Amino acid sequence: MTLKIAAKISSGLFVVDVHYEARPGITALFGPSGSGKSVSLAAVAGLLRPQSGTISFNEQQFANAEKSLHVRTQDRKIGMVSQNAALLSHLSPLENVAIALLNSHDRAQRQERASHWLGRVQAEHLAKLPTASLSGGEQQRVALARALAGAPQLLLLDEPFSALDQTSRIAVRSLIIELVAELKLTAIIVTHDLIDVAALANQLVLFEPGRTVASHELIRGQTAELARLVGLTI
């Protein structure tokens, strides 16, 4: 289950030329702000259309600009967690998770499955609380449960830790490692933090402004090798 992207994508402000493959496990997109990491993720999610090139996952083409092919976001069967958890404050955390099951389960099953996923991210106790009262870390757990509840094979993580304190960050990071391995997902994470890359990723894609420049295999936790790859001296 490999994501392949070879496309030029316009964010509206700039164009990014993206070439990489993401295999099962966690692929980190690393590079300076404005280099196009989140833009490439938005295109994978179907929120942006490539100007040229293709995006495919597991032999299914998501987009092919030359053939004017663009699979709707709803039909890509992906999960996504963003910097802003994007939870609906008029729904409870449980209901926020349950919306990912709206088309596949009846009401009782939805409640049960949503409860299950909240449990998997250690957030079952939050189920009925007012969503607006949750901390950043709690909101990201709920967002992660929603992303996984739809049984995606591809998980997109766009700076999911940037609003979290250190404790929440470590906890959510561990959860992601555990769940991606257990569910055999292909996950792509956009991050500015090398510690996130070192802790999470088994593949690294480096971005420069407007393009991807390199792709490397990583062994999780090998920070010295990682530092060498991104040009740091430690």
Partner 1 sequence: MTSWFPLWLSLRVSAMATIFASVAGIAVAYVLAKGRFRFRSLIEAVVTLPIVLPPTVLGYYLLTLLGVNSPIGKSWERIFGAPLVFTQTAAVIAASISALPYVVRTARAAIESVDARLEAAARIAGLSEWQVARVVTFPVAARGIGAGVALGFARALGDFGATVMVAGNIPNRTQTLPIAVYDAVQSGDLDAARVGSFVLGAIAVIVLLIVTQISGRKL
CB nearer to partner 1: pick between 44 and 164: 44
* Stretch 145-164: interaction string toward partner 1, x if CB under 8 A: -xx-xx--------------
Q: Does 79 bind partner 1 (CB under 8 A)?
A: yes
- CA distances (Å), origin 9, targets 39, 120, 130, 208, 212: 7, 35, 38, 15, 12
* Stretch 173-202: interaction string toward partner 1, x if CB under 8 A: ------------------------------
Q: Residues touching partner 1: how many (CB under 8 A)?
A: 27
CB-CB contact of 1 with 78 (8 Å): no
Q: 7, 18, 43, 80: which one contacts partner 1 (CB under 8 A)?
A: 80
How would you class 126 by CB atoms within 10 Å of its CB: exposed for 0-12, middle for 13-18, buried for 19 or more?
buried
Residues 6+ apart with CB under 8 A from 194: 30, 223, 226, 227, 230, 232
Q: Does 142 bind partner 1 (CB under 8 A)?
A: no
3-state secondary structure of 9: strand
Structure-block tokens of residue 222: 């090998």
Alpha-carbon span 195 to 98, nearest angstrom: 32
Q: 13, 59, 66, 74: which one contacts partner 1 (CB under 8 A)?
A: 74
> What minimum distance in Å lies between the beta carbon of 229 and partner 1?
31
Q: Does 77 bind partner 1 (CB under 8 A)?
A: yes
Q: Does 103 bind partner 1 (CB under 8 A)?
A: yes
